[in-house]
Amino acid sequence: MFCASLADVFDNSVDLAWRADLWALVRDTPHLDWLVLTKRIGNVSAMLPADWGCGYGNVWLGISVVSQDEADRDIPKLLCLPAAVRWLSLEPLLGSVSLQSATGPFGETLDWAVVGGESGPHARPMKAEWVHDLRAQCGTLAIAFFFKQWGGHEKGKGGCLLGAREVKAWPSLPCPVY
């Protein structure tokens, strides 16, 4: 379940009671995988529930990264947080991104990378070489690679083919225990 896809659970303006209710719902639904994406990774550790421990087994904690500067700044922060699944949303991808910082201090790694271009009337272009390079890096680092779309300003013209096929890998997960 993509949690608050048009919001940020870790924004400073989010009501504390609302966030507490969300964590209660997440705890009460262990059969659902919750994809929680943020641009505010620096806020996360202070806003996780007290019983987070090594991370809830059904929460995929992700960050939005559009450039190398954001990758360098935020991937190490994500890797320092306990989580069942750590992932990147590289959408819109606005430049070449190296995943050289994709291993944490104790060997923590990223599990998934979702890549896509920008859409809408003022969409900025995404270069194919950026996408192919990320896919190669993910292969080397054993990160599941999911290509979402090329983007573009013409509705329905972006497409999701990489080469001649869709590339939509998901991270390998252990069997859940309920």
DSSP per residue, 70-84: HHHHHHHHHHTS--S
Give, for 87, the enclosing helix (H) or strand (E). Answer: strand 85-90
Residue 175, pLDDT score:
56
Asked if pLDDT for residue 155 goes beyond 90, the answer is: no
87-103 tens-digit pLDDT: 999 999 999 999 987 88
Asked if pLDDT for residue 156 goes beyond 90, the answer is: no
Residue 7, pLDDT score:
75
**Do 46 and 40 form a contact (C-beta atoms < 8 A)?**
no
Residue 153, pLDDT score:
56
Q: What's the predicted TM-score (pTM) here?
A: 0.89
How many other C-beta atoms are found inside a 10 Å radius of the C-beta of residue 129? 9
CA 87 – CA 20 distance, rounded (Å):
23
Spatial CB neighbours of 165, under 8 Å, sequence gap ≥ 6: none
Residue 151, pLDDT score:
87
CA 99 – CA 65 distance, rounded (Å):
11
Residue 154, pLDDT score:
55
Instruction: Provide the token pair at 78.
Output: 């994500």
Whether omega for the bond prior to residue 82 falls within 30 degrees of 0, making it cis, is: no
Domain ranges of the chain: 2-166
Confidence of residue 178 (pLDDT cuts 50, 70, 90): very low
- β-pairing, 161-162 vs 144-149, is unpaired
Residue 26, pLDDT score:
96
